[in-house]
Amino acid sequence: MKLAILGGGGFRTPVIYRAIASGATRTRYDELALYDVDSGRLDRIEAVLRGIDATEGTSVRHRSTTRLEEAIEGADVVYCAIRVGGLAARFVDETVPIELGAIGQETAGAGGLAFAMRTVPAITAIAETVRRCAPNAFFINFTNPVGLVTEALSPILGERLVGICDAPQELCGRVAAALGRDARDLAFDYFGINHLGWVRGVLDGNRDLLPGLLEDDERLGSIEEGRLFGTEWIRSVGMVPNEYLFYYYFQDRALEAMRGGVVRASYLREQQDRFYAGDGTPAASLALWQETLTERESSYMEEAWIGRETERAAVVEGRLPGGYGGLALGLVDALLGEGETSVRILNVPNRSSLPFLDPDAIVEVPCLVGPGGIRPIAIGSVPIDAAGLILRVRAAERVAIEAALSGSRRLAVKALALHPLVPSVDVAERIVDGYVARDPILAETLR
Ligand code: G6P
Ligand code: MN
């Protein structure tokens, strides 16, 4: 079994390697190909993999390459987590809107649309290559913004494509913890699009445990979402929101923190540069990687916790170690498994799961996963406020796909202006001007 990791020089690649090498997967991989446009980054990640082998006694054949076709040729599974333009571009995505009165975030709002417009041309070219060189490979998309990017790839890759995100699974894990239960024993009625979803019910047999949890201030308040949104607001919504809803429900608070200097990309650029600039033995590289990873995870979503240090400490404490590796590999195990069907929250074509969206829209809902493929579970009608937000965001995202594919600056402005996290057409225009002035790839993309 050959696995190709596109964006293999990325910081989280060792998480996947470790899961495979330690034998945590049922699928046996005998070859890993790491592809990246940057050979320096590949070298650093290679050193970490050697560190894992040396300290944990593991060994799986792996090689790095900057040639895409070489990585993809003969692959059974393609895992794609790329960041076109790197963290320098993320910095532009996040900082330009802030001065103009809109939040600056990697995937939500203007920043997410910019990230997408930069990514779509590059990733559709990659998908064409996969279709040609590995026509039967599963394509697991982790590239953000996952919903939009997966939707752009869907016409090229069809049924072989699936988008994944760790956020829903982690949310369900925390909800289970609040209930004092094991998530594996419960069914989560979750729906939305990527980074815009809600837990509508938690089923234990024919009993829904969510209404009881919503009334229990202590339990609900004990988890990240309880602290982030406040128990009173969660009760008003009647569902537990994905943490990314913070940027919608508490837009002004997020913007204020960002204006005060909390911009994720500037922090990440500095800490990631330190890691990638380092050298040393495999053991030292592994140690530095591990330290950098822990620090990165503990400062995640910092803008939500300004002035609330105690809460923040409790939230960090309650976080599970990043589920990135297990999520993708568990999915492959389920797709290639023998007969059993499991339920996983994935990004797939809607068919008729959310009836207010068209069949080809990529939605994030629980899916049946088995050797026969992936099928979304029917969600049915949802509260109108949730449907309204989903529709507005997806409308903006679709225009961003069109803008990226056609290179139209006018459509880029339209995409931003339609997004609920951008205050007006005027602001959208100014943000697009800022992006084009400061990001060479966007300048090239939007003529
Ligand atoms: C979560 C999201 C990912 C996102 C990541 C950002 O895990 O689900 O989609 O990429 O956070 O983390 P970062 O450390 O890059 O801010
Ligand atoms: Mn995600």
Tens of pLDDT, residue by residue over 123-151, are 999 999 999 999 999 999 999 999 999 99
Single out the residue of 203, 251, 204 nearest to residue 104, CA to CA. Answer: 251
Ligand nearest to the CA of 319: 1
Cβ(166) to ligand 1 under 6 A? yes
Smallest CA separation from ligand 1 atom 16, residue: 300
The answer, yes or no, to whether any atom of ligand 1 lies below 6 A from the CB of 83, is no
pLDDT of residue 226: 96
CB of 347 closer than 6 angstroms to any ligand 1 atom: no
Give the global pTM: 0.97
Q: Which atom of ligand 1 is nearest to the CA of 165?
A: 8
Query: What mean pLDDT do residues 207-214 have?
Result: 98
Extended beta strands in 283-361, E state? 342-349
* Per-residue pLDDT, 409: 98
Cβ 144 under 6 angstroms from ligand 1: yes
The rounded Å distance from CA 109 to ligand 2 centre is 14
pLDDT at 321 over 70: no
Q: Is pLDDT of 315 > 90?
A: no
Residue 262 in this model has a pLDDT that exceeds 90: no
Within 10 Å of residue 358's Cβ, how many Cβ atoms? 12
Q: Please give the share of the chain, as a percent, with pLDDT higher than 70.
A: 99
Ligand 1 close to Cβ of residue 302 (< 6 A):
no
Q: Which atom of ligand 1 is nearest to the CA of 142?
A: 9
pLDDT of 71 above 70:
yes
| CA–centroid distance, residue 180 to ligand 1 (Å) | 26
Nearest CA residue ID for atom 3, ligand 1:
165
What would the two tokens of residue 27 be? 């699928």
Mean pLDDT of the chain: 95
The residue among 17, 122, 135 whose CA lies nearest residue 76 is 135
* Ligand 2 ion: residues within 5 Å (CB): 165, 167
pLDDT at 427: 98
62 pLDDT tier (thresholds 50, 70, 90) = very high
Q: Is 300 in the pocket of ligand 1 (CB under 6 A)?
A: yes
% of the chain with per-residue pLDDT over 90: 89
Q: What is the mean pLDDT of residues 291-295?
A: 94
Q: At residue 3, does pLDDT exceed 70?
A: yes
**Mean pLDDT for the stretch of residues 84-106:** 97
Residue 205 Cα to ligand 1 middle (Å)? 33
Q: How far is the CA of 166 from the centre of ligand 2 (A)?
A: 6
Residue 190 Cα to ligand 1 middle (Å): 19
Quick one: pLDDT at residue 325?
79
pLDDT in tens, 354-388: 999 999 999 999 999 998 899 999 999 999 999 99
Distance set, CA 335 to CA 161, 266, 325, 398 (Å): 12, 38, 16, 29
Distance 372 CA to ligand 1 centre (A): 30
370 CA → ligand 1 middle, Å = 27
Specify the residue with its C-alpha closest to ligand 1, atom 4: 144
Mean pLDDT of 13-38: 94
Average of pLDDT values for 264-285? 94
CB-count burial class (<10 Å; 0-12, 13-18, 19+) for 346: buried
Helix or strand (DSSP H, E) at 289: helix 282-298
Question: From the alpha carbon of 146, which atom of ligand 1 is closest?
Answer: 9
Q: Return the top range by mean pLDDT from 256-260, 303-307, 385-389.
A: 385-389
Does ligand 1 lie within 6 Å of residue 306's CB atom? no
Q: What is the pLDDT of residue 340?
A: 85
Provide the greatest CA pair distance for the chain: 58
pLDDT digit string, tens, across residues 223-246: 999 999 999 999 999 999 999 999
Residue 324 has a pLDDT of 74
**How remote is the CA of residue 47 from the centroid of ligand 1, in Å?**
24
| Sequence-separated contacts (24+) of 255-263 with Cβ below 8 Å | 255/98, 255/101, 255/102, 255/103, 256/306, 257/302, 257/303, 257/304, 257/306, 258/94, 258/98, 258/103, 258/104, 258/303, 259/98, 260/306, 262/302, 262/303, 262/306, 263/91, 263/94, 263/95, 263/98, 263/104
- Report how far ligand 2's centroid is from the alpha carbon of 146 (Å): 7
Give the pairing type, strands 62-65 and 187-193.
unpaired
Q: Whose CA is nearest to atom 5 of ligand 1?
A: 300
| Residue 298: predicted pLDDT | 87
What pLDDT, on a 0 to 100 scale, did the predictor assign at position 284? 95
125 Cα to the center of ligand 2, angstroms:
22
Mean pLDDT of 2-27: 94
| 121 alpha carbon, distance to own chain's centre | 19
Higher-confidence position of 363 and 321:
363
How far is Cα 42 from Cα 64, in angstroms, rounded to an integer? 7
Position with higher pLDDT, 309 vs 148: 148
The closest residue, in CA terms, to atom 10 on ligand 1 is 144
For residues 370 and 356, the answer to whether their CB atoms sit within 8 Å is: no
Q: Which is the closest atom of ligand 1 to the Cα of 167?
A: 8
Of 192-201, 217-226, 300-309, the least confident: 300-309
Q: How far apart (Å, rounded) are the C-alpha atoms in residues 22 and 346?
A: 25
Hey, whose CA ends up nearest to atom 12 of ligand 1? 300
Q: Report pLDDT for 319.
A: 76
What's the confidence (pLDDT) of residue 322? 62
199 residue type, one letter: V
Closest C-alpha to 192, from 395, 397, 387, 415: 387
Read off the pLDDT of residues 382-432 as tens digits, 9 standing for 90 and up: 999 999 999 999 999 999 999 999 999 999 999 999 999 999 999 999 999
Ligand nearest the Cα atom of residue 300: 1
CB atoms within 10 A of CB 433: 14
Average of per-residue pLDDT across 303-308: 88
165 lines ligand 1 (CB under 6 A): yes
pLDDT average, residue stretch 38-67: 95
First to last CA, the chain: 42
